[in-house]
Every structure is written in structure tokens, then in C-alpha cells.
Amino acid sequence: MNHPTDASGSEKVAPTPGAAPTARLETFTYNDAIVRMFLTATLLWALVAMSVGLFIALQLAFPRLSFGLPFLTFGRLRPLHTNAAIFAFAGNAVFAAIYYSTQRLLKARMWSDMLGQLHFWGWQLIIVLAALTLPAGVTQSKEYAELEWPIDLLIAVVWVAFFGVNFFMTLKTRRERHMYVAIWFYIATIITVAVLHVFNNLVVPAGLFKSYSIYAGVQDAFMQWWYGHNAVAFFLTTPFLGMMYYFVPKAADRPVFSYRLSIVHFWSLVFIYIWAGPHHLHYTALPEWASTLGMIFSVMLWMPSWGGGINGLLTLRGAWHKVTSDPVLKFFVVGITFYMMATFEGPMMSVKSVNALSHYTDWTIGHVHAGALGWNGFMTFGMMYFLLPRLFQTKLYSQKLAEWHFWLGTIGILLYIVAMYIAGLTQGLMWRALDENGRLMYPDFVETVTRIIPYYWMRAIGGGMYLTGVGIAAFNFAMTWKSRPATYTETEHQAAPLSDDDFTPEVRPESQLQGVAEIGKKLDVWSTMWWHRKWERLPLRFTVWTTIAVIVASLFEIVPTFLIRSNVPTIASVKPYTPLELAGRDIYVSEGCYNCHSQMIRPILAETKRYGDYSKPGEFVYDHPFQWGSRRIGPDLAREGGKQSHLWHLLHFQDPPQVTPNSIMPNYGWFERKKLDFASIPVRLRAAHYLGAPYDDAVLNDPISVARAQAKQIADELRQQAGGGDPRRVPDNAPPTFQHDVALEDTQVIALIAYLQRLGTDIYKQPDAKPAAPQPTPTPTPVAAASADNSAKGAQ
């Protein structure tokens, strides 16, 4: 048995119990080099992910921090932060844990060193590509699935062909007959993530850097949150539970509390988790039955989640005195505690009436950071401090610095989540507050933003502390690495290969019950779970049942969502986007506007008072991908069409505070300077047409001319609204003869205005109305507009 502070060199492996003590013992070593690589990458990406997180957190408190540069805006950097935190930081941590523990639990070296290398470098390449493409605005705009299709293909190859094959082949060549609970969780992870990734990322490519989801509107939203929620389940929960089941008993040197609890909570977790996705879409245009399933399965998920937590914490019985002195256990205890907190909070937030308040607010942000920083982060750092002496075969450089890391991290998380809880509740309550006469108490949205700015500062301080802790860990890591031996000792282990000769199958126990019907006895025998022991030595059967659990549950929700027509009643007046609007929408997607603006008005009184009639499922049938969003840092835009003048939008993009004082939106000054890529419109339109948008032949044959005509019309209207002149900003030191490089009708802002003016307007049109440009209703009182000399200038 290991003592937690022993270096790995001292490990001794007993021959398999029950194995005949023959000379058939095989000698093997473990591949720890690959674990060292993954662990190093974990820490490096942690620094990157959290630095980006801190930067965008500061942008909310201090919007000028985007410096007017496209690649520094919140909308583009937030996906980089989430992807780096999930796939780079947590992902590499998961791989380190799996490569280290699997070999030891199965008494087998990873099947292929080469596949391990391909897996490692392939994954890092994916992350680097993410870091290059996301700030460039290349995105599918589905949360945590933003990466475009070529990178998605790479992910599928690396995950399945390199990682999956290597893992399952190691399982096949194992020398330990039964699979420990950690391995069950790894199997569930590998299978389910592959399924989720493939089915959420089915797209129609339109070039190397752009694609359209094959699903539209309601169905796209459903698939996305089936994926998004289960990314939390099978990327951030199951592998970390596996990590916990290996490293906690190892570090505490105590037996796992309950084998039977492991079985019960594993299967209930895997089966129930997969249903819960629709709780991200309460009160949206998603059919109500799906929303209900999402809620009730989330409630049922509470105990299966806690099963892991209590099995972890109760394993520490008799080892609590070690917790006070060992940073490894400290990290684990706090990590598991945050897991239990977050998995209680999750079911609570999934209750519809709670969600009506919490959704779109910072409460969700607080919740996910309790999970990510508390559970994923602290489990990872606990594992890291456990592994450092073993992998680098030396002493940890400084126990004291590890203590500092622990306390900075713990206080940092608490500051962070408390700030977000206050901000979320404050904003949620302000949005819904009605006065005694039934009117909105805070009708001006920006008022609900300025109120929470102090908490953004508090959050930034908490996050900064956490990041400082990680910086200290990186230093500790580097110093430990420096004192490594010149060459690592590779300990040799011995075990017999599995053979049918030297093993006795499980015996079905007899029921001790007296005077009970046969079925009762059968149930009694079944509940002893003797059969599960059998499954544990049959990896194929185990994997198949895990896959069935996950897929059957998914199909129960997916099939009705796609097949029942009444889920998305069609609205005759809803027409496809015009070519120009489509181009504008693609800019909206590319800029990541969905990171701050929802397009989904819920049937809640305070909400329809603020934004207009609630959104209907039939309004989104041409939305590939959907843009419902999940957070309202800015107001909802589902009925933005016709709400503001073109001129207002132009001035707003130029510099939001000039029309909305105290706005924290970054400025998008380049929209009115950059040329719209008209040449790319035909391929966009063909993709939309291929996905079912009906267009006239006239539009299909010459979409560019159609787009240009609409652009001309909007530009003309803009000039009229501006009193005749070009409303764009003139540089400060421009000569009097200054001319803009790009004509107003050729700029990106025109396409964006076309799209925004269309949003949510179709249901008010006559079914036969043409889907052309947004036609302003003719003014019934044609008063000659007094020449408002450049009103744009006036507004500046």
C-alpha cells in the first residue's frame, strides 16, 4: 500500500489475487512520460484560460478595455475563455488522470505510446487552432461547440481514433480482471462525449471557415443544450468522478466507503444526466413537455450526483487528521464540497419557477464557476500535487506555496461566486420588478447593468486571486521539475496475464427470504448486485450497456422533438432572410453577439412588457444556427426589428454610450468602415436554400444584385434619417475633402442593420407580404420633414 508522500519508485505490485503463483508473470512498466506532458499542458492552459477570463471580466466593469479592436471584444473572447477552460485546462487534466490511473488500475501500460503522442499533440493543436480562430470570429456560435467544422473533424479523430482506441485496447490487454469504478466513469466519458460531439456538430459547410447547423431554431436549441448540458456531465463530471475514485483513496490511504453506492450512483447518474439538457431552455419556444422532462430529471439527478460526493467524503473517515496537514487532501475536500454544492444548486435552478428568475443572469455564471473553479479546478490541483513528487521523482518544491495556492483559490472562488449570486439576484429581481400599479419599476435596461458593476469588480478580484494561486502553482511546478533526477527510474511491475484457467466465476447467491413469492426472491438476489461483479470483468458488455443507457435516454427526447409537428407550429408570414440579412446575420454570429444578447422573449409578464410579445417556435424555422443566447448582459433582441431607427443602430455601433449612456457594450466602429463581402453571399444563400429556405429563382440566380438593392435602400434611408449626409464618423484630423474608403451601401453595418431590423417582425406581417426589405409603414401625416441638419453630429 502506498503512503501518499511516497515517490512512485517505491510502488510494489502484488500478483493478482486468485492467480496461480506460476512463472507466467509478465513484467511491464507504465508510461509516465505522457502523464507528465498532459499535466504540464494542464497548468499552462489553466494560466491562459483564466487570464482570458479575468480580462473579459474586467471588460464588463471597464468596457473600453476592448480598445476598439475586433479580436479583443467580449463576444469573441468569451468563447475562447470557455473553450480553453473546458477543453484545454480540464481536458488535459482529465487525460493526465486517465493515463496515470488507467495503467495502474488495469496493470497494463497504455496500449500504444505512439497513439498517446498523437493524442497529446493532436489535442494541443486543436487548442491552438481554437485560440487562432475564435478571436478571428470563426465560430459556429453554439456554446462550447463554437469551433468550426474542420477543427470538429480533428477533434473527432483525436478523441476516437487516438484516445478512444488507445484506452479500449489497454482495457483489452489488461492484467486486472475486474474494472474499478474509475474505469466505468472513463468508459462513459469516452463513449458519450463522442456521441454528443458528432450529433451537435452536424453542419453544412460554406467554405473552410463557415458552416450552418443542419438543425434550425427550436431543434437546434434542443440539440445544442442536449450537448451543452452533457458536456458538463460527461466532460466535467464523469471523468472527474473517475479521477476522484482513484486519487482520493490513494491520497488518504483509506478504502472506498461503499462499493454498492458506486454501482448505484454510477448507473443512475449516467442514465438520468442525459435527459436534463432542456432545463437550459425553460420558458423558451421549446415545447413544454421537453422543458418539464429537463426539470424533473434534473431534480432526480440530485442524489445520483451526491452519491459520488458522499462516497468521496466518507472515504476520508479515519483520515480527517491528514486533511489538516496534506494540501492534496485539502484540495480534494474543498473540490468535492463544491461538487456537492453545485449539484444541489443545479437541480434547484432547473426548477422552472427558480429558473424564471435565474436564467439570463449572473447567477448561472456563479453556478458554473462553483463547478469549474471549485470542483474541476480543485480536483485537478489536488491531483497535481499528488502527482508532482511521483512523476518527477523528487520532493514537492514547497508545501507552503501549495498552502498559499489553496487559500488564495478558496477565498477567490468564494468572492467570485458570492459576487455573481448578488449580481444575478439583483439583476433578475430588477428585471421583473413591477410597482404597485403593475408597471415595470426599472424600465431602462441599462439601469439594471450599472447597478451590478460593483459586483463585477468584486468578481474580478476573486478571479484574480484564484489566478494568482495558479501562478504560484506554476512556480511550484517548475521548481519541482527543476529538481528532477537526471533520468527517471522506470519501476518494473509484475502480474500474470488474464486467463480463463485461473479464475472462478461469480456464484449467484441464494435468497435468504422466507415465505416470499418467487419474484420477491429474484429481486432480493438481484439487489445483492452479484451480477454487476460479472459485468465488471466484461468490458464490452459494460460499454454496450453504458452506451444504451445514454442513447436510449437521448432518443426519448430527440425523436419526439424532431417528429411531432405540433412542437413547431408553422407561421405563414415567417419568411427566409433576404441575401443581405443573411450576410448580416452571419456577422452577428461571427461577432458572438449571442454571448451578451438573447433572442428569446419568455412568456413572462415583466419580459413581454419590456421586449414585446413572447417568441413563438415558428419564428425560428430559418435560423441556422439558433441565436437564443443564455445570458443578457445586454437586452434581448428577439423583437429588435423596427424598434430603433437605422441611424440609431449606426450610432450605437459607432460608440454605444453616445446613445445609451452607461452602456457597457464595446464599440464596433469597424462595421461602418469595413466592406461587406458581397461575393460570399451566393454560397451562404445556397446553404440556406439547401437547408430548406424557399427562395424565388430571381433571388437564387442573382443574390448579389438583390443584396445590393436592399443595401442601397437602407443606405438611402440612413442618409435621410441623418438629414441628408453620410452619418459615419469622420476621423478627427481628416482634411475637409475627406471621403470614406468604402461607400456607405457597401459597408458591413448596412447588412447588420438589415438583419436587426428584420428580427421578430415577420409575425406582424400579412402572410403574403414579400420578405424583401423592412418596409416602414408610410407615414399617415406627411409633414415635410424640416431639415434636421446632421442629426448624427448632434448626437455626438
Partner 1 sequence: MSDKKYKDILTGHNYDGIQEYDNPTPGWWWLVFHCCIAFAVCYFVFFHISIYGWTRDEAYSAEVKRNFDKQFAALGQLEVNGETIARFLNEPQWLDVGRTVFQTNCISCHGKQGEGLVGPNMTDDRYKNIKQIGDFGTVISNGAAKGAMPAWKTRLSPNEIVLVASYVASLRGQNLSGPRPPEGDVPPPWPVPDKPADAETPAKPDAPK
State which of positions 246-285 bind partner 1 (CB under 8 A): 246, 249-250, 255-262, 264, 268, 283
Q: Which is nearer to partner 1, 14 or 507 (CB)?
A: 14
| Nine-digit cell string for 45 | 492552459
Question: Which residues share a beta bridge with 204?
Answer: 212
| Residue 310 beta carbon to partner 1: minimum distance, rounded to whole angstroms | 7
| Residue 38 beta carbon to partner 1: minimum distance, rounded to whole angstroms | 19
| Residue 57 beta carbon to partner 1: minimum distance, rounded to whole angstroms | 27
Interacting positions 17-76 with partner 1 (CB under 8 A) = 17
Residue 63, preceding bond cis, omega within 30 degrees?
A: no
Q: Return the closest-CA partner of residue 226 out of 551, 542, 549.
A: 551
Three-state DSSP at 507 gives: coil
Three-state DSSP at 28 gives: strand
For every residue of 341-370, DSSP letters joined together read HHHHHHHHHHSHHHHHHHTBSHHHHHHHHI
> Which span sits near partner 1 by CB under 8 A: 293-301, 372-380, 412-420, 668-676?
293-301
> Which span sits near partner 1 by CB under 8 A: 153-161, 215-223, 358-366, 600-608?
600-608
Contacts of 225 (CB under 8 A, 6+ apart): 277, 278, 280, 281
> Which span sits near partner 1 by CB under 8 A: 83-91, 126-134, 646-654, 686-694?
646-654
For residue 514, which amino acid is it? Q
| Residue 162 beta carbon to partner 1: minimum distance, rounded to whole angstroms | 25
Query: d(Cα 11, Cα 386) in Å, to the nearest integer?
Result: 14
| Residue 301 beta carbon to partner 1: minimum distance, rounded to whole angstroms | 8
Q: Which is nearer to partner 1, 309 or 424 (CB)?
A: 309
User: Using an 8 Å Cβ cutoff, are 506 and 534 in contact?
Assistant: yes
Q: How many CB atoms lie within 10 A of CB 393?
A: 18
> Which span sits near partner 1 by CB under 8 A: 44-52, 145-153, 307-315, 359-367?
307-315
| Nine-digit cell string for 156 | 473527432
| The binder of partner 1 chosen from 644, 674, 704, 709 (CB under 8 A) | 644
Q: Under rule CB under 8 A, how many of the chain's residues touch partner 1?
A: 93
Q: Return the closest-CA partner of residue 323 out of 394, 261, 389, 251.
A: 251
| Nine-digit cell string for 131 | 485560440
Interacting positions 556-595 with partner 1 (CB under 8 A) = none
Interacting positions 328-367 with partner 1 (CB under 8 A) = 347
| The binder of partner 1 chosen from 15, 205, 560, 612 (CB under 8 A) | 612
User: Using an 8 Å Cβ cutoff, are 196 and 142 in contact?
Assistant: no
| Residue 445 beta carbon to partner 1: minimum distance, rounded to whole angstroms | 9
| The binder of partner 1 chosen from 165, 310, 348, 414 (CB under 8 A) | 310
| Residue 105 beta carbon to partner 1: minimum distance, rounded to whole angstroms | 5
Query: d(Cα 210, Cα 687) in Å, to the nearest integer?
Result: 10
| Residue 50 beta carbon to partner 1: minimum distance, rounded to whole angstroms | 32
Q: How many CB atoms lie within 10 A of CB 513?
A: 12
Q: Return the closest-CA partner of residue 671 out of 757, 567, 588, 575.
A: 588
Question: Which residues share a beta bridge with 203?
Answer: 213
Interacting positions 172-211 with partner 1 (CB under 8 A) = 176, 178, 180
User: Using an 8 Å Cβ cutoff, are 316 and 252 in contact?
Assistant: yes
φ, ψ (nearest 5 deg) of residue 494? -130, 140
| Residue 509 beta carbon to partner 1: minimum distance, rounded to whole angstroms | 13
Interacting positions 111-170 with partner 1 (CB under 8 A) = none
Question: Which residues share a beta bridge with 212?
Answer: 204
| Residue 254 beta carbon to partner 1: minimum distance, rounded to whole angstroms | 9
Residue 40 C-alpha from the chain's centroid: 23
| Residue 503 beta carbon to partner 1: minimum distance, rounded to whole angstroms | 14
> Which span sits near partner 1 by CB under 8 A: 9-17, 369-377, 387-395, 503-511?
9-17
Interacting positions 103-122 with partner 1 (CB under 8 A) = 104-105, 107
Interacting positions 508-537 with partner 1 (CB under 8 A) = none
User: Using an 8 Å Cβ cutoff, are 641 and 612 in contact?
Assistant: no
| Residue 190 beta carbon to partner 1: minimum distance, rounded to whole angstroms | 19
| Residue 762 beta carbon to partner 1: minimum distance, rounded to whole angstroms | 11
- In sign, the C-alpha dihedral spanning 206, 211, 213, 214 is positive
Interacting positions 73-102 with partner 1 (CB under 8 A) = 101
Binding mask 473-512 for partner 1 (x = CB under 8 A): ----------------------------------------
Q: Which is nearer to partner 1, 128 or 788 (CB)?
A: 788
Q: Which is nearer to partner 1, 296 or 411 (CB)?
A: 296
| Residue 197 beta carbon to partner 1: minimum distance, rounded to whole angstroms | 29
Q: Which is nearer to partner 1, 173 or 645 (CB)?
A: 645
Q: Which is nearer to partner 1, 612 or 682 (CB)?
A: 612
Q: Which is nearer to partner 1, 86 or 181 (CB)?
A: 181
Q: How many CB atoms lie within 10 A of CB 734?
A: 11
For residue 434, which amino acid is it? L
Three-state DSSP at 234 gives: helix
Q: Which is nearer to partner 1, 11 or 403 (CB)?
A: 11
Interacting positions 378-437 with partner 1 (CB under 8 A) = 434, 437
Q: Which is nearer to partner 1, 528 or 739 (CB)?
A: 528
Q: Which is nearer to partner 1, 643 or 686 (CB)?
A: 643
- Mode of pairing for the β-strands spanning 203-205 and 211-213: antiparallel
Residue written as grid cell 475536500 = 333
> Which span sits near partner 1 by CB under 8 A: 162-170, 328-336, 592-600, 637-645?
637-645
Contacts of 125 (CB under 8 A, 6+ apart): 154
Q: Return the closest-CA partner of residue 263 out of 289, 245, 282, 240.
A: 245
Q: Which is nearer to partner 1, 247 or 477 (CB)?
A: 247
> Which span sits near partner 1 by CB under 8 A: 184-192, 392-400, 440-448, 592-600?
440-448
User: Using an 8 Å Cβ cutoff, are 123 and 129 in contact?
Assistant: no
Binding mask 750-779 for partner 1 (x = CB under 8 A): --------------x---------x-xxxx
| The binder of partner 1 chosen from 322, 643, 674, 689 (CB under 8 A) | 643
> Which span sits near partner 1 by CB under 8 A: 112-120, 302-310, 332-340, 702-710?
302-310
Interacting positions 673-712 with partner 1 (CB under 8 A) = none
For every residue of 37-102, DSSP letters joined together read HHHHHHHHHHHHHHHHHHHHHHHHHSGGGGTT-GGGSHHHHHHHHHHIIIIIIIHHHHHHHHHHHH
| Residue 793 beta carbon to partner 1: minimum distance, rounded to whole angstroms | 9
> If binding is defined by CB under 8 A, does position 443 make contact with partner 1?
yes
Q: Which is nearer to partner 1, 157 or 571 (CB)?
A: 571
Q: Which is nearer to partner 1, 248 or 415 (CB)?
A: 248
For every residue of 163-201, DSSP letters joined together read IIHHHHHHHHT-SSSSPPHHHHHHHHHHHHHHHHHHHH-
Query: d(Cα 411, Cα 426) in Å, to the nearest integer?
Result: 22
